A and B are shown apart, each in its own frame.
Chain A
Amino acid sequence: MAPAFTLPSTTGAPVALADLLAAGSAVVMFVTDDCPTCELALRRLAAADAEVTVVCEAPAAAASRLAARTGFRGRMLSEPAPYETSRAYGIEAVPTTVAIAPGGDVTGTVVGWDAAALSGLAGVDLDGEAPARKPGCAAKSTYDAAQLAADAEAGDDPEAMFELGWTDGLPTVAPTPERVAAMLGGRDRAVALGPVPPGMGEATLERVAACAVLAGCRPQHFAVVEAAVRAMLVPGFNLHGQAVTTQPAGQIAVVNGPVRAAAGLNSRMGALGPGTRANATIGRALRLVVALTGEGMPGRLDRSTLGQAGKVGTCIAEDEERSPWPPLHVERGLAAGTSAVTLLAGDAPLSISEHRSRTPEELAAALGWGAATLWSPNWWPIGAATLFVICPEHADTLAAGGWSKADVRHAIWEAVQRPAGELRRGEFTDRVGEAADDDLVPKWDSPDDILLIVAGGEAGRFSAVFGPCVGMDWSPVTQEVRCDT
Chain B
Amino acid sequence: MRYVSPYDPAARTPVAAAPRPESLAGRTVALLDISKNRGAEFLDRIERHLRERGAEVERYAKPLFSRPAAGELVERIAARAGLAVEGLAD
User: Does B6 reach chain A (CB closer than 8 Å)?
Assistant: yes
A201 touches B12 (CB 8 A): yes
A202 touches B8 (CB 8 A): yes
- Would you mind naming 7 contact pairs between A and B with Cβ atoms under 8 Å apart? A160-B1, A166-B3, A176-B3, A176-B4, A201-B7, A201-B8, A292-B7
- Residue B18 CB within 8 A of the other chain: no
A180 to chain B, nearest CB (A): 4
Q: Counting CB contacts under 8 A, is B71 at the interface?
A: no
Check if A245 sits within 8 Å of B66, measured CB to CB: yes
In Å, the complex CA distance between A210 and B66 comes to: 29
Task: Provide the residues of chain A in CB contact with B15, threshold 8 Å.
Answer: none
List which B15-73 residues lie within 8 A (CB) of chain A. Answer: 64-68
Given contacts A195-B11, A207-B7, contact A176 B1 (CB under 8 A): yes
Contact B4 A206 (CB under 8 A): yes
Q: Which residues on the A side are within 8 Å of B8 (C-beta)? A: 200-202, 204, 207, 293
CB contact under 8 A between A473 and B67, given known A155-B3, A177-B4, A206-B4: yes
A295 at the interface (CB under 8 A from B): yes
Q: Do A210 and B68 touch (CB < 8 A)?
A: no
Please report the C-alpha to C-alpha distance between residue A204 and residue B8 in the assembled complex, in whole angstroms: 9
- The reply on A50 being an interface residue by CB < 8 A is no
How far apart sit A164 and B68, CA to CA, in the bound complex (Å)? 29
Question: CA–CA, A292 to B65, complex, Å?
Answer: 24
Query: Which B residues fall within an 8 A CB radius of A?
Result: 1-8, 10-12, 14, 64-68
Q: Is the CB of B11 within 8 A of A241?
A: no
Chain A positions within 8 Å of B67 at CB level: 238, 240-241, 473
Does B2 contact A210, Cβ atoms closer than 8 Å? no
Q: Name the contact of A153 in the complex, choosing from B1, B11, B68 (C-beta under 8 A).
A: B1
Closest to B3 in A: A175
Q: How far is the CB of A35 from chain B (nearest CB, A)?
A: 25
- Interchain CA distance A240-B10 in the complex, whole Å: 19
Q: Quick one: which of B1, B11, B65 contacts A295, CB cutoff 8 A?
A: B11
A238-B67, A472-B66, A473-B66 known; A211-B6 Cβ under 8 A: yes
Q: Which residues of A contact B (CB under 8 A)?
A: 11, 152-155, 160, 164, 166, 174-177, 180, 195, 197, 199-202, 204, 206-207, 209-211, 213-214, 238, 240-241, 245, 288-289, 292-293, 295, 471-473
Known: A202-B11, A240-B67, A245-B66. A175 touches B6 (CB 8 A): yes
Not counting A201-B7, A211-B6, A472-B66, a sample of 6 additional A-B residue pairs whose C-beta atoms are within 8 angstroms of each other reads A176-B1, A176-B2, A177-B2, A180-B4, A473-B64, A473-B66
Q: Are A166 and B66 in contact (CB under 8 A)?
A: no
Q: How far is the CA of A321 from the CA of B67 in the complex (A)?
A: 39
Closest residue on chain B to residue A245 by CB atoms: B66
Contact between A240 and B3, CB atoms less than 8 A apart: no
A169 to chain B, nearest CB (A): 15
Are A210 and B5 in touch, CB under 8 angstroms? yes
Q: Which residues of A contact B2 (CB under 8 A)?
A: 176-177
Contact present for B4 and A288 (CB under 8 Å): no
Partner of A240, one of B11, B14, B68: B68
Would you call A238 and B14 a contact (CB within 8 A)? no
Asked if B1 and A152 make an inter-chain contact with CB atoms under 8 angstroms apart, the answer reads yes
Report whether A199 and B11 are in contact in the complex, using a CB–CB cutoff of 8 Å: yes
Report A99 CB to chain B, min CB distance, Å: 30
Inter-chain contacts of B1 with A (CB < 8 A): 152-155, 160, 174, 176
B residues in contact with A195, CB < 8 Å: 11
Q: Given the complex, which residues of A lie within 8 Å of B64, measured CB to CB?
A: 473
A-chain residues with CB within 8 Å of residue B4 when the two chains form the complex: 175-177, 180, 206-207, 209-210, 213
User: How far does the alpha carbon of A81 sit from the alpha carbon of B68 in the complex, in Å?
Assistant: 39
Complex Cα distance, B8 from A206, in Å, reads: 11
Nearest 6 CB-CB pairs, A to B? A241-B66, A201-B8, A292-B6, A201-B11, A180-B4, A210-B6
Q: Which residue of B lies closest to A472 (CB)?
A: B66
Query: B5: which A residues are within 8 A, CB to CB?
Result: 175, 207, 210
Shortest beta-carbon distance from A386 to chain B in Å: 18
With known contacts A160-B1, A245-B66, A471-B66, A214–B6 Cβ distance under 8 A: yes
